[in-house]
Chains A and B, each alone.
Chain A
Amino acid sequence: MKPILEIEHVSKRFRLHHQGASYLSFRDRITNLFKSTDVTEDFWAVYDISFQVQPGESIGIIGRNGAGKSTLLKILSRITPPTSGRIISRGRIASLLEVGTGFHQELNGRENIYMNGSILGMKKAEIDKHFDEIVDFSGTENFLDTPLKHYSSGMQLRLAFAVAAHLEPEILIIDEVLAVGDAEFQRKCLKKMEDVSRGGRTILFVSHNLVAVGNLCTRGVLLKSGRVVAEGDVKDVIRAYQMDFEMNQNTLWQRTTTSRAPLWFETIKIQLNGDQPALSLTIDLALRSERKHSKGFLAFDIINSLGVTVMQAIPRIDPFIEYQPGLQNLEISIDLPPLVPDTYSLSPWLGAHNNETFDMVNNAVMFEINESPTKGRTFPHTYDHGSIVPPSSVLKYTK
């Protein structure tokens, strides 16, 4: 049987203009007529990628932020053309890079189902056929004639996923849409996607959530800096990714590029102190302000090696991070709960109270925990059952 998707030496180059503006104004064009000082740098978002997908297979594409996953999906979805190479597809491709594309706040639920379904490539007859199922799946039957702007964000999301879940292409491309919504809804989505893949459809799935990838996919492709570094059984590929993750473990992060934010992280350094189950993390931060900014505060996500955020620390800064030109230093301590042995990474976030993000560094630094959180016991801890082992005791035992 011929592969349903053949990806042959696909590369995509972006030209980075160092003036900062990603689009040209007419004035730039005219002034640039007379000088050729436009500094450009080539950046290969994906480089020479080749692999094949058999019909009915579900493939997980994993890699760190910036590894080229999203660009590859955009090329496969025909949103952006490759710079070289080609892709042969033998089936209808539908891509779900975002849920709710084309939703309009002024239209009601019913109208949005048709609009969104149609943009995703469904025929009106198909939407008619699945209409009741979609409404049922989203649980919005009482709001079908209400404009979308009166929906809660959770309801909008459920409606959006419900439409997407009823797409019936031969090849379905999904980008991390599951990273949103409450746990109950995420489970429902994963279940639906498992049904889809069991129904013989081909799925390409990109996610940071290695648990989801492991459950859903049979094969994996690991991308690193735009290149394929591992391909094969999904378990092996996940292991390769985790190994890579561990090898790059680093307790110091320093900014190498300039930032356009008014306030940003210059260096991030961590140190792990104490013993299980009373570990603490000391974080040394250097922040730099360039321009006036609103009062800032910090948040720290702690992520396990599967890419699941296990907790977030929001240290109180009294009063706030105020504007002050130049560097400011902070030392922060986080008391860690009893954690399952694993490699964890820390993603610090810097922003203002109005949800404005100044800077964030995904997986900036890492730390490893080898000790068991329940010392003296032989019960093995694995991240399959979560990352935190809360202290527990037996209060009463009646024989």
Chain B
Amino acid sequence: MQAQQKENIISSDRSVILNLSELWSYRELFYFFTWREVKVKYKQTALGVIWVVLQPLIMVAIFSFFFGHALKNDNFLGLPYPVFVFSGLLLWNFFSSSVNTAGNSMLTNAPIIKKIYFPRIIIPVSALLVSGVDFIVAFVAFVVTLIYYQVHVDVLALIVFWPLALVFVLLGTLGISCGLAALNVKYRDFRYIIPFGLQIALFVSPVIYPASNTSNPWVNYVLALNPMYAAINFFRVPLTGTSEMNFFLVMISSVSAIVFLLLGIYYFKKTEAFFADIA
């Protein structure tokens, strides 16, 4: 044993700042949690991994069949409806499945939390990583769709806006997921609130139909608090150009994503020490 060991102090003081060096030392656990969920997810299914591609494709088909016809006269930013809805669903599915699994993750992993210490934030973050794996597969399917419909893509805009869209999706999703995961430990009501919230959020996000601007600016401002608003708008820029984007609303949404991130992580860190006592 080394003569000079690093001293660790356990006390009642808790920091609300993420300890990044500790997280780095636990990097393998991120991998194992994610790997476990990915492995388990499609076990004992006949189609297995094919479900990852099939799920978004079926959703696109359903939305195209119903909304594509119903909203025939609308303007989908000049895109074929399947491409339009897929571009939104791609990000939306990542957000929704992350929030859903991460929101319940502290409870499903309660037996582990009560027996072993590790930075708790690994659990909701690995829920995001699991959805990330699905996202990558769906993304490939999306690119194939773009090629099939011969959509014109602005490569320069793509290099700027797709990474930007991903960054904002990640910030918003991470914040909301962590916040809900922590809230769910204390108030189990969130187990029921989350699915409803996600359904409402799907209809106020510009996924199925374009971001329609109502005449009342305040309604627009409120709707723009949704962090997915900016992300989906950014993501569509390389396909449609920026002509129809409302920069002010996108700005609100971007700031909101950052606020959600800070609030979510702050609340998570503030309450995480007591998860084992009440989970």
Chain A positions within 8 Å of B, measured between CB atoms, are 4, 14, 22-27, 29, 55, 74-91, 93, 95, 97-98, 101-102, 104, 106-107, 111, 114-115, 118-121, 123-124, 147, 170, 200
Contact residues, B30-51 vs A (CB, 8 A): 32, 36, 39-40, 43-44
The answer to whether A170 and B28 have CB atoms under 8 Å apart is no
Contact of A23 among B12, B112, B278 (CB under 8 A): B278
The answer to whether A115 and B36 have CB atoms under 8 Å apart is yes
CB-CB < 8 A to B28: which residues of A? 118, 123-124
CB-CB < 8 A to A81: which residues of B? 10-12, 14, 273-274
**B248 interface residue, CB < 8 Å from A?**
no
Say yes or no: A89-B8 contact (C-beta < 8 A), given A24-B186, A80-B277: yes
List 12 extra interface pairs beyond A79-B117, A81-B14, A95-B116, CB under 8 A. A74-B276, A79-B276, A80-B274, A80-B276, A82-B10, A86-B12, A87-B11, A91-B5, A106-B40, A107-B40, A115-B36, A147-B43
Contact of B116 among A22, A89, A120, A170 (CB under 8 A): A120
**B65 interface residue, CB < 8 Å from A?**
no
- Inter-chain CA distance A199–B122, complex, in Å, is 33
**B20 interface residue, CB < 8 Å from A?**
no
- Inter-chain CA distance A4–B117, complex, in Å, is 19
Interface centre among A27, A80, A120 (most CB of B within 10 A): A80
Contact of A170 among B1, B111, B277, B278 (CB under 8 A): B1
| B84 → chain A closest CB, angstroms | 37
Contact of B277 among A4, A14, A123 (CB under 8 A): A14
CB-CB < 8 A to A147: which residues of B? 43
Say yes or no: A86-B9 contact (C-beta < 8 A), given A26-B189, A98-B115, A101-B111: yes
The answer to whether B32 and A119 have CB atoms under 8 Å apart is yes
- Inter-chain CA distance A102–B114, complex, in Å, is 11
The answer to whether B188 and A78 have CB atoms under 8 Å apart is no
**B67 interface residue, CB < 8 Å from A?**
no
| A–B complex contacts, Cβ < 8 Å, 16 sampled | A23-B187, A23-B278, A78-B10, A80-B277, A81-B10, A81-B14, A81-B274, A84-B12, A89-B9, A89-B10, A93-B8, A95-B115, A102-B112, A107-B40, A119-B32, A119-B118
Contact residues, B83-125 vs A (CB, 8 A): 111-118
- Inter-chain CA distance A200–B32, complex, in Å, is 30
| A357 → chain B closest CB, angstroms | 19
CB-CB < 8 A to B72: which residues of A? none
CB-CB < 8 A to A82: which residues of B? 10-12
Contact of B112 among A88, A101, A107, A111 (CB under 8 A): A101
Contact residues, B255-279 vs A (CB, 8 A): 273-274, 276-278
CB-CB < 8 A to B187: which residues of A? 23-26, 29
Say yes or no: A88-B115 contact (C-beta < 8 A), given A111-B39, A123-B28: no
Mark interface residues in B147-166 (1 if CB within 8 Å of A CB, else 0).
00000000000000000000
| B91 → chain A closest CB, angstroms | 29
The answer to whether B116 and A106 have CB atoms under 8 Å apart is no
- Inter-chain CA distance A14–B278, complex, in Å, is 11
| A332 → chain B closest CB, angstroms | 36
Contact of B36 among A83, A107, A120 (CB under 8 A): A107
The answer to whether A119 and B112 have CB atoms under 8 Å apart is yes
CB-CB < 8 A to A120: which residues of B? 116
- Inter-chain CA distance A209–B14, complex, in Å, is 36
**B29 interface residue, CB < 8 Å from A?**
yes
- Inter-chain CA distance A84–B13, complex, in Å, is 9
- Inter-chain CA distance A226–B112, complex, in Å, is 25
- Inter-chain CA distance A363–B111, complex, in Å, is 27
CB-CB < 8 A to B43: which residues of A? 106, 147
Say yes or no: A97-B115 contact (C-beta < 8 A), given A23-B278, A81-B14, A106-B43: yes
- Inter-chain CA distance A118–B118, complex, in Å, is 11
The answer to whether B278 and A86 have CB atoms under 8 Å apart is no
Say yes or no: A85-B11 contact (C-beta < 8 A), given A25-B187, A25-B188: yes
| A145 → chain B closest CB, angstroms | 13
Contact of B12 among A83, A115, A123 (CB under 8 A): A83
CB-CB < 8 A to B117: which residues of A? 77-79, 95
- Inter-chain CA distance A25–B28, complex, in Å, is 35
- Which chain A residue has the least Cβ–Cβ distance from B40? A106
The answer to whether A114 and B12 have CB atoms under 8 Å apart is no
The answer to whether A76 and B10 have CB atoms under 8 Å apart is yes
- Which chain B residue has the least Cβ–Cβ distance from A77? B117
- Inter-chain CA distance A262–B14, complex, in Å, is 41
The answer to whether A89 and B1 have CB atoms under 8 Å apart is no
CB-CB < 8 A to B32: which residues of A? 114-115, 118-119
Mark interface residues in B1-26 (1 if CB within 8 Å of A CB, else 0).
10001111111101000000000000
- Inter-chain CA distance A195–B119, complex, in Å, is 31
Interface centre among A84, A102, A170 (most CB of B within 10 A): A102
CB-CB < 8 A to A118: which residues of B? 28-29, 32
